[in-house]
Amino acid sequence: MLELGVTLVPFVALWVLAAVAVHHGLWWGIALTIPAAGFLLRLFMIQHDCGHGSFFARRRADDWTGRLIGVLTFTPYDYWRRAHAAHHASAGNLDERGVGDITTLTVAEYRPLSRSRRLAYQSP
């Protein structure tokens, strides 16, 4: 619960400050959105933990917190939780590659690739 407070309070404070600062110059407001984006990322991490049922002791608290954070992250929590669970169910299974998986090829799939496709596969 402490992690939620030390993330949500600065996030809201930075957006309020950005709204005030923009009246003194657009760049002041924009500058404050950069650290706010970091706190938004942290909120998504908390939402992710809620999706796994690991942030609170009770699933119901995880789900409602995840839903509320989803409003801020523009991520529909219940849909995301189901899709993310499906991702975990098939992660590492090359026969069931899905959305969000890192492209992983078998040797048999890699060998027939052209040189440029091999280079693209090896590039980050």
Residue 91's pLDDT is 74
Q: Would you state the pLDDT for residue 102? A: 79
The two three-digit tokens of residue 27, written as one number: 């760049």
Please determine, for residue 33, whether its predicted confidence score (pLDDT) is greater than 90.
yes
* pLDDT for 118: 93
Query: At residue 36, does pLDDT exceed 80?
Result: yes
pTM of the entire structure? 0.78
The mean pLDDT value of the chain amounts to 92
**Is there a contact between 21 and 14 (Cβ–Cβ < 8 Å)?**
no
Overall average pLDDT of the 79-97 stretch: 83
Is a pLDDT exceeding 90 seen at residue 95?
no
Statement: residue 93 has pLDDT above 80: no
First to last CA, the chain: 36
In degrees and rounded to multiples of 5, residue 83 shows phi and psi of -65, -40
Give Cα 52 to chain centroid, integer Å: 13
